[in-house]
Chains A and B, each alone.
Chain A
Amino acid sequence: QVQLVESGGGVVQPGRSLTLSCAASGLIFSTYGMHWVRQAPGKGLEWVAVVSADGGTKYYADSLKGRFTISRDDSKNTVYLQMNSLSAEDTAVYYCATGPGPGGDTMFHYWGQGTPVTVSS
């Protein structure tokens, strides 16, 4: 079965950087577009970014102001989210997610368990 396992979360000081990873199994990773979605404590869901199956297309939420970068390494079945200039507003659980089938799906059938990021001094 499909599994998505996030890692790399933790406590980080404001202004610092952090990189999250999401390791995928049970699917032909190179054929799936991959997304990051976050959820601040007690708040709703916020889509963050997507990287296409071929890695050539990336989109980001407007609110990120160019601070985040999504990338993928198909040799490791892993998608990354590099987060720079972090602030308290970035405190959230970060999920990786993908669609029910190969391609550029923009709905989320498979989700990881989430990795928490806390930005605090």
Chain B
Amino acid sequence: IAGITQAPTSQILAAGRRMTLRCTQDMRHNAMYWYRQDLGLGLRLIHYSNTAGTTGKGEVPDGYSVSRANTDDFPLTLASAVPSQTSVYFCASSEKGTDTQYFGPGTRLTVL
């Protein structure tokens, strides 16, 4: 049982470049989420999806986009990376939007 996987584990990226962070879950959960975690701050929700084919904006969506073409995958794209997007990114999923969330291992992204 893999649960949730994220790729890459870490990445250093030049400012202005496009980057897609991948997230895949094998638990057939309906809801998926992207968070960023910065030192001294709580996890902040970037985007979410309550079911395949739908997405919504969280607290800090600017500069990010997502898609949910199927149940398992929920990629996060940075169209043109900026240094303020340096962070640790966690993908999470839950059976439905009201349930406990389970987290992937995270992607550490540095934008220079």
Q: Do these two chains really belong together in a complex? A: no
Give chain A's interface residues, CB within 8 Å of chain B: none
Interface residues of B (CB under 8 A from A): none
